[in-house]
Chains A and B, each alone.
Chain A
Amino acid sequence: MIRLENVTKLYKTSTRPALENVSVDVGKGEFVFVIGPSGSGKSTFLRLLLREEVPTKGKLYVSNYDVAKLPRRRVPRLRQTIGCVFQDFRLLTNKTVFENVAFALEVIGKPAHTIRKVVPEVLELVGLDGKADRMPRELSGGEQQRVAIARAFVNRPLMLLADEPTGNLDPDTSQDIMLLLERINRTGTTVLMATHDQSIVDSMRRRVVELDFGRVIRDDARGVYGYDH
């Protein structure tokens, strides 16, 4: 599903590479935590998968796309196979829950009848049935993140990238979100989650890829956040 072969990413403005000689292989349906302190390269890692950035060196494959060589006009196709969730939810404040989720389908040209059918389905999946007509500001943080997850998942992507999805949420709500991500993972969707949250990583016992100064320093099949506690 994801394969990085000796990927190095050097930003023009920096002398130290953001990622250096990183090789990671993620199979279909895996659940992977990407951990590491700020500036360790987590964000760059995710940006490369989305082709927001191009590797300086090395090879990068995401669901059969040779990302480094992908021509610009085909980038949207790649992104349609990836769902994204962020710490700050990034919902459109002037649209309802339904419209926020529908937006992701509208802008890739899905017909209205499909949208009317699949949006309620995905809202039910994330536990927001009955809240389709609410505005984002009327929802709790956890609910807003569920909307964001619904939007990321509504097009049934092969893979879900989550960048600190629980960063703004309290521990209980975070657990709920993790359960939701697990449920999505069980549908066969690969989930890749960048996080700082030790307790979540420790409790899930999933694969952990740890980055530090742009290098992979650990890749455990069933890991915890760190050794020192």
Chain B
Amino acid sequence: MRASFVFSEVSTGLRRNVTMTVAMILTTAISLVMFGIGLMVVKAVDLTKDNYLDELEVAVFLTDEISKKDVSCTQQPCASLKQDLELNPAVDTVVYRDQDEAYEVFKKAFKNEPTMLELASPEAIPASLQVRLKSPEQSAAIVKGFAERQGVSLIHDGGETVDRLVDSLRVLRNVTFVGSLVLLLAALLLIANMIQISAYTRRTEVGIMRLVGATRWYTQLPFLLEAMVAGAIGAVLAITGLLSMQVLLPSGFANQLENVVRFPGTFYTAFVISPILLLTAMLISSLVGYVTLRLYVRH
């Protein structure tokens, strides 16, 4: 196989249908960007979950009566609630947080919102038992077991918040995946079209190649490579786009997000997502190319 021959054929082929080639490259690129974002969100789901589950707590809020009268949780029913929680095998530690401490935590959380601070007073915030679990998945069982107990006003399950967050991330992931799939379909059709046009404009050449006894590889490889090169360029564009999006995103926005969702960094994009995108593009374009040649180009 003479490489110089094949490469010159590929480059003339790409230049000949330049509008079609550009359309195909751009569609592929956008499709891959969406796919890449989808992959980032998948990773973000894991990172966010890990992050939250590490510090996940179940807060068992106590009634006003206990909050006010039993400041050290030594009387009934607070003491037995605490004891039962500590005996539960799923529970790691139980800490009693009285109204004053709770107010401090509240002040910290809303330090940027003075109106909230004005509205609140230590008496308005109930005392609670802060429960840290051995395994976060069991939070629901704690909620069920203690919700009806005397002295409990409300149980706040931190796991639910994480679940809701993760659910919305999953929706985002699905949207990007479906979007990328639709665009990928468009890219596939463009690849198929590109190859057909290419084969048509080169029908004399291909005819001569067949007559003088060129093998299938020689006649068809230029077309396949044309599709693969275009696909690869699309992938490179997509990767560049994703990385610059990550780098150039206003840092304030990124920080704000960072408090809620943990996104993977540029390292992950460059060394995990990028190869996936590149391989996907090459694999799909060569596969479509091969099938198109089988169906439309006689050998």
Q: Are A104 and B218 in contact (CB under 8 A)?
A: no
- Assuming the contacts A79-B212, A79-B213, asked whether A107 and B204 have C-beta atoms less than 8 A apart, the reply is no
In the bound complex, residues from chain B placing their C-beta under 8 Å from that of A79 are 210-213
Q: How far is the CB of B207 from chain A (nearest CB, A)?
A: 7
- Assuming the contacts A107-B218, A108-B218, A109-B1, asked whether A77 and B205 have C-beta atoms less than 8 A apart, the reply is no
In the bound complex, residues from chain A placing their C-beta under 8 Å from that of B212 are 79-80, 83-84, 104, 107-108, 151, 155
List A residues 42-94 near B (Cβ within 8 Å): 50, 72-73, 75-84, 90, 92
B216 within 8 A of A: yes
> Which among B1, B208, B213 is the interface contact of A90 at CB below 8 angstroms?
B208
Q: Tell me the bound Cα distance from A112 to B3 in angstroms.
A: 11
B 54-75 to A, binary, CB cutoff 8 A, 1 in contact else 0:
0000000000000000000000
Q: Are B213 and A112 in contact (CB under 8 A)?
A: no
A213 within 8 A of B: no
B 198-223 to A, binary, CB cutoff 8 A, 1 in contact else 0:
00000011011111111110110000
In the bound complex, residues from chain B placing their C-beta under 8 Å from that of A104 are 208, 212
Q: Tell me the bound Cα distance from A84 to B205 in angstroms.
A: 14
Q: Tell me the bound Cα distance from A192 to B291 in angstroms.
A: 37
> Which among A73, A77, A84, A112 is the interface contact of B211 at CB below 8 angstroms?
A84
Query: Nearest residue in A to B215 (C-beta to C-beta)?
Result: A76
- Assuming the contacts A73-B216, A106-B2, asked whether A90 and B204 have C-beta atoms less than 8 A apart, the reply is yes
- Assuming the contacts A92-B205, A106-B2, asked whether A76 and B214 have C-beta atoms less than 8 A apart, the reply is yes
Q: Tell me the bound Cα distance from A83 to B208 in angstroms.
A: 11
Q: Are A109 and B208 in contact (CB under 8 A)?
A: no
For chain B, give the interface size range. 10 to 19
Residue of B208, B211, B212, B218 most packed against chain A (CB within 10 A): B212
Q: Tell me the bound Cα distance from A155 to B213 in angstroms.
A: 10
Q: Are B216 and A107 in contact (CB under 8 A)?
A: no
Q: Tell me the bound Cα distance from A107 to B209 in angstroms.
A: 6
Q: Tell me the bound Cα distance from A83 to B211 in angstroms.
A: 8
In the bound complex, residues from chain B placing their C-beta under 8 Å from that of A92 are 204-205, 208
Q: Tell me the bound Cα distance from A109 to B2 in angstroms.
A: 6
Q: How far is the CB of B208 from chain A (nearest CB, A)?
A: 6
Q: Are B214 and A108 in contact (CB under 8 A)?
A: yes
Q: How far is the CB of B166 from chain A (nearest CB, A)?
A: 54
In the bound complex, residues from chain A placing their C-beta under 8 Å from that of B219 are 107
In the bound complex, residues from chain B placing their C-beta under 8 Å from that of A151 are 208, 212
In the bound complex, residues from chain A placing their C-beta under 8 Å from that of B209 are 107
In the bound complex, residues from chain A placing their C-beta under 8 Å from that of B207 are 90
Q: How far is the CB of B209 from chain A (nearest CB, A)?
A: 5
In the bound complex, residues from chain A placing their C-beta under 8 Å from that of B214 are 76, 107-108
Q: Tell me the bound Cα distance from A73 to B209 in angstroms.
A: 15
List A residues 106-155 near B (Cβ within 8 Å): 106-109, 111-112, 151, 155
Q: How far is the CB of A111 from chain B (nearest CB, A)?
A: 8
Q: Are A77 and B218 in contact (CB under 8 A)?
A: no
Q: Are A109 and B216 in contact (CB under 8 A)?
A: no
> Which among B204, B205, B213 is the interface contact of A108 at CB below 8 angstroms?
B213
List B residues 170-224 near A (Cβ within 8 Å): 204-205, 207-216, 218-219
In the bound complex, residues from chain B placing their C-beta under 8 Å from that of A75 are 213
In the bound complex, residues from chain A placing their C-beta under 8 Å from that of B2 are 106, 109, 111-112
In the bound complex, residues from chain B placing their C-beta under 8 Å from that of A106 are 2, 5
List B residues 206-244 near A (Cβ within 8 Å): 207-216, 218-219
Query: Nearest residue in B to A81 (C-beta to C-beta)?
Result: B213
In the bound complex, residues from chain A placing their C-beta under 8 Å from that of B218 are 107-109
Q: Tell me the bound Cα distance from A50 to B210 in angstroms.
A: 10
Residue of A50, A78, A92, A108 most packed against chain B (CB within 10 A): A108
Query: Nearest residue in B to A84 (C-beta to C-beta)?
Result: B211
Q: Tell me the bound Cα distance from A59 to B22 in angstroms.
A: 51
In the bound complex, residues from chain B placing their C-beta under 8 Å from that of A109 are 1-2, 218
Q: How far is the CB of B288 from chain A (nearest CB, A)?
A: 23
Query: Nearest residue in A to B205 (C-beta to C-beta)?
Result: A92
Q: Tell me the bound Cα distance from A115 to B219 in angstroms.
A: 19
Query: Nearest residue in A to B209 (C-beta to C-beta)?
Result: A107
Q: Tell me the bound Cα distance from A80 to B212 in angstroms.
A: 5
In the bound complex, residues from chain A placing their C-beta under 8 Å from that of B205 are 92, 103
Known A76-B214, A106-B2; further 18 A-B contacts with Cβ < 8 A: A50-B211, A73-B216, A75-B213, A77-B213, A82-B213, A83-B212, A84-B211, A90-B204, A90-B208, A107-B212, A107-B218, A107-B219, A108-B212, A108-B214, A109-B218, A151-B208, A151-B212, A155-B212
A-B contacts, 12 of them at CB < 8 A, read A72-B299, A75-B213, A77-B213, A78-B213, A84-B212, A92-B204, A103-B205, A104-B212, A107-B212, A108-B213, A108-B214, A112-B2
3 pairs of A and B residues whose beta carbons are closest in the complex: A80-B213, A79-B213, A107-B214
Q: Residues of B at under 8 Å CB distance from A?
A: 1-2, 5, 204-205, 207-216, 218-219, 299
